[in-house]
Amino acid sequence: MKVHNFSAGPSILPDSTVENTAAAIKNFAGTSLSLMEVSHRSKEFVAVMDEAIALFKELLDIPAGYSVIFVGGGASTQFCMVPYNLMAKKSAYLNTGTWANKAMKEAKLFGEVVEVASSKDTLYNYIPKGYEIPADADYFHITTNNTIYGTEIKHDMDVNVPLVADMSSDIFSRPVDVSKYALIYGGAQKNLAPAGVTFVIVKDELLGKVDRAIPTMLNYQTHIDGESMFNTPPVVPVFAALETLRWIKEQGGVAAMQKMNEEKAAVLYNEIDRNPMFKGTVINEEDRSLMNICFVMTDEYKELEKEFYEFATAKGMSGIKGHRSVGGFRASTYNALPKSSVQALVDCMKEFETMHVK
C-alpha cells in the first residue's frame, strides 16, 4: 500500500534527497568511504558545504550584505541566539502560537519584551493585524508559519524596525524578499533536510552592536567567520540539504514550489469547506497555511473523529493527527508532498462522507 506522508516534521523530503543521501552514506563522492566517516574538512565535503550555501543564496535570491550559515541546536537555540546577538534593550514579538511563546521566553532573559499582539484567546486561529511596533525596539520577531495551528503570514511585511522571522516550516515554499528582513532562521526538518542542521540568514551590518559578551558558539560572527565549519557540522543533514536544494532548482525554484503548494492547498481546503463532515480551524481565509492544513469534524459528526482517523490511516494516510493542543487533523503539505497524496486524502474524506451522510 502506498503511504502518504502528511507528518508535520520531521516530514517528507524529495525521493532524490533520501536516495542520494542513502547512497552517499554507503559511498561518498567516490571515496569508498561513508559520508558519516569522512572529514568535514575533506575537499569532497567542503565542496558540498560550498555548493549548499551558494544554492541556498541563489534560490532565495539573497542580496549582498547577508550571510547564510548552517549551525546546530535547532530553531530552539535561535530563540536565544537572536536576542543574544541583536537585542540591546528591547524587542517586540507577535504572539501567534507555541513557538512564538518559546522565542519570547528566551528573549525575556535579555531585556524588555513587548508582545505587540496575540491570538492566544482563540487558540491562535488567526494572525493578529493592526498593532503597533515600538519604534525603539531592536527588532520585531514573527513566526511566518505556525506549524501547530495552521496559520501563515504569506507576505513579506514592511515594518519600522529590523524584522526577524522564524521560517522553520515555510522556508523555500515561496519566494521571499530577503531585503525586508534582518534575520531569518529555521530548523531544517520540514522543507530542507533531516533534523540536525539549522539555517540562519543574517544581515551582516546588524551584528556586533550589543555590548554583552557572547559565548563563542552562540555568536553568529563565529559561524560566519568559520564558514559554518567552526565546529564539526552535521555532515549528513548538510548533504541532504544540498540534495533538496538541487531538487528545488530542478523543479523551477521557489516560484514553482509556491504554485504547487497553492494548488495542493486549494484542493484540500475546498474539500474541507465543501464536505459537511469537516471544517477548517483557521477563521480568516488569508491566514490559512499552505504548509499545515488543520481541520476538525463539524459538531454533528464530532463523535466520528477517531473513526475517520482510523479509516484514513488504514488507507495509507500517515501523520494526519492534529497537534494535541488543537485536536482533529493536520495535513502537512510541504514542498515534497505530491499532489496525488493530497488527492488521496480528499478521496478518503469523500468516501467517508458517502458512508455517513444521508
Q: Applying CB under 6 A, which residues contact ligand PLP?
A: 9, 74-76, 99, 143, 147, 166, 168-169, 187
The number of C-alpha atoms within 13 Å of 25 and in the hemisphere containing its C-beta is 10
* Residue closer to ligand PLP, measured from CB, 8 or 206: 8
The nearer residue to ligand PLP, 8 or 242, going by C-beta atoms, is 8
How far is residue 175's CA from residue 32's CA, in Å, rounded to a whole number?
Answer: 38
Helix (H, G, I), strand (E, B) or coil at 167: coil
Min CB(168)–ligand PLP separation in Å? 4
Instruction: Report the 10 Å Cβ neighbour count for 248.
Output: 23
Does 189 count as an annotated binding residue?
Answer: yes
Question: Are 300 and 357 within 8 A, CB to CB?
Answer: no
β-bridge mates for residue 292, sequence order: 332
Sign of CA dihedral 65, 187, 252, 240: positive
Catalytic site residue from 138, 154, 190, 287: 190
In one-letter notation, the amino acid at residue 230 is F
Using the minimum distance from each CB to ligand PLP, give the nearer residue, 190 or 246. Answer: 190
166 is in an annotated binding site: yes
Indicate if 190 belongs to the active site: yes
Q: Is 26 tagged catalytic?
A: no
| Least separation in angstroms between CB 43 and ligand PLP | 30
204 carries an active-site annotation: no
What is the spatial distance between Cα 217 and Cα 223, in angstroms, rounded to a whole number?
Answer: 8
Q: Least Å distance between CB 143 and ligand PLP?
A: 5
Helix then strand then coil, in percent of the chain rounded to 5, is 40, 15, 40
Query: Nearer Cβ to ligand PLP, position 60 or 349?
Result: 60
Q: How far is the CB of 231 from ligand PLP (least distance, A)?
A: 18
Please identify which residue in the block is written with the cell numbers 507555541: 98
Question: Any binding-site annotation on 147?
Answer: yes
Tell me: is residue 75 an annotated ligand-binding position: yes
Q: How far apart are CA 6 and CA 337, in angstroms?
A: 8
- Single-letter code of the amino acid located at 170: D
Question: Which is nearer to ligand PLP, 67 or 147 (by Cβ)?
Answer: 147
**Any known ligand binding at 54?**
no
Tell me the closest approach of the beta carbon of residue 262 to ligand PLP, in angstroms. Answer: 20
324 is in an annotated binding site: no
99 labeled part of a ligand binding site: yes
- As measured in angstroms, the least distance from the Cβ of 245 to ligand PLP is 18
293 vs 348 by CB, closer to ligand PLP: 293
| Residue 51 backbone dihedrals phi, psi, to 5 degrees | -70, -35
DSSP secondary structure string, 182-195?
SEEEEESTTTTSST
For the chain, list the strands marked E by DSSP.
Answer: 4-5, 66-71, 90-95, 112-118, 140-143, 145-146, 151-152, 163-166, 183-187, 198-203, 278-280, 292-297, 317-318, 329-332
**Residue written as cell 531585503?**
179
Per the annotation, does 247 bind a ligand? no
Residues recognised as catalytic = 99, 166, 190
Binding residues for L-glutamate: 41
Residue ranges at the known binding site: 41, 75-76, 99, 147, 166, 189, 231-232
